[in-house]
Structure 1
């Protein structure tokens, strides 16, 4: 049974979310502030964290950043703030999803299930990649294993999100081809909750941090100004 850590200071909303998710078969641990959330995280090691943006003792983004230093557990931010800038900021700081209040309990449960499914797939791929060696004959700095859905940097596997791998796969299969933001967006539409062209820029930034030696001066994932991006081996 999957365990959810719910960090929400509004007791009525927290109780409603907790009851519904429990009825869906999840074990829910409830925290009313960030400090208690950290304690329950360390105690129960949840499979998903649902995190309110505005907490009495901290900001949800700051708490998400703190959690990201020690864990890759999926984090869903819930907030009454629905501006694109808020959603992008959450994604840039480690959140996996962003759900705007008010929301339906069915959508909450569906997104939670999707995060768990994605996390399980990522873990399986990483374990499979770690158990096997990439092609030793391939001396390229960056190598993709399509079957295991894993990126190797200098023969070391790295973790990526589903969307990041999809973007990198298209780069890898078509080196030198210039992709517009819209083209890349269409590759991940239906997978990623953040379906805007700005989302592509965020994913590119995160990919560069993972595959480039100098992310601010990339030699592989290049910006083509006014058009989009291209990949060079």
Structure 2
């Protein structure tokens, strides 16, 4: 039975020890580090399945940490922070975090949120154990991407393929894009898009949806100000068109 690997980047010794003990007792394989530098190193050596990230570390701080770690890994990121500001939550999610917990928080709630994120992204099965142990390794036998015109989805890698190039996204961006892709030309309200990713973005709202769409346009469109794929339907929401 393979345990889910959790990387905890937390410099507070009390909180860090509590997280380590609790998650270990809940059958997770846990490694804790205290700095952003050690966390980046552990991505390669420990190869975690999920990352718990404090935003205030000795060698780095702020929501930009989410962007740094999202650039380095595709695994889910849950931010744990003393800052309750809605602005900070939205910024963290916009920069790549998949969920946000404000300290102090319930350990049971943390576990439930971890499992919710992993269920949506890595096929978690009950008890904190999943298969396979890490993101799939891809070779000539992996399933072909779902195809439609110039833009496709690679369902295994959870990436968007544009003109043969894999475009990395956050998990929430991918969920929104998958919904668009499965229903071309259908207009989705912001509320429908919120419901599509609820459980990944715990604090998602209309503004967060607009940020995710803006980020998708930057990644996919030749001219984000004149989008060809994701169109705004004023007063309603958005729709996807695949030229």
Shorter-chain TM-score bucket reads: 0.7 to 0.9
Aligned residues: 230
Runs of 4+, deviation exceeding 6 Å: 145-150
TM-score by length of structure 2 reads: 0.78
1:91 aligns with 2:100: no
Q: Does 1:179 align with 2:179?
A: no
**Helix, strand or coil: the match of 1:131?**
coil
Gaps of 5+ in 2: 124-133
Contact 2:80 2:100 in 1 (8 A): yes
Q: Give the equivalent residue in structure 1 for 2:33.
A: 31
Moved more, 21-30 or 55-64: 55-64
When the two chains are superposed, the root-mean-square deviation of aligned CA atoms in Å is 3.2
CA gap of 1:70–1:97, structure 2 versus 1, over 3 A, is same
Q: Which of 157, 161, 176 is matched with 1:167 structurally? A: 176
The Cα shift of 1:16 comes to 0.9
What secondary structure is seen at the aligned counterpart in 1 of 2:96?
A: coil
- Aligned equivalents of 2:157 and 2:45: distance in 1? 32
Note the C-alpha offset of 1:58. 0.9
Among candidates 110, 113, 120, match of residue 122 of structure 2: 120
Alignment-derived partner of residue 4 in structure 1: 6
Question: In 2, Cα distance between the equivalents of 1:59 and 1:135?
Answer: 39
Q: Does 182-191 or 77-86 show the bigger shift?
A: 182-191
**RCO higher in structure (CA 8 A, sep ≥6):** 2
Check whether the contact 1:75–1:96 (CA below 8 A) recurs between aligned residues: yes
CA distance in 2, matches of 1:54, 1:141: 42
For the residue of structure 1 that corresponds to 2:63, the secondary structure is helix
Residue-by-residue CA offset, 1:161-180 (whole Å, 9 max, x unaligned): 55434433443455444332
Q: Which residue of 2 aligns with 1:131?
A: 142
Give the TM-score taking structure 1 as reference length. Answer: 0.80
Structure with bigger helix share is 1
> What residue is the counterpart of 1:207 in the other structure?
216
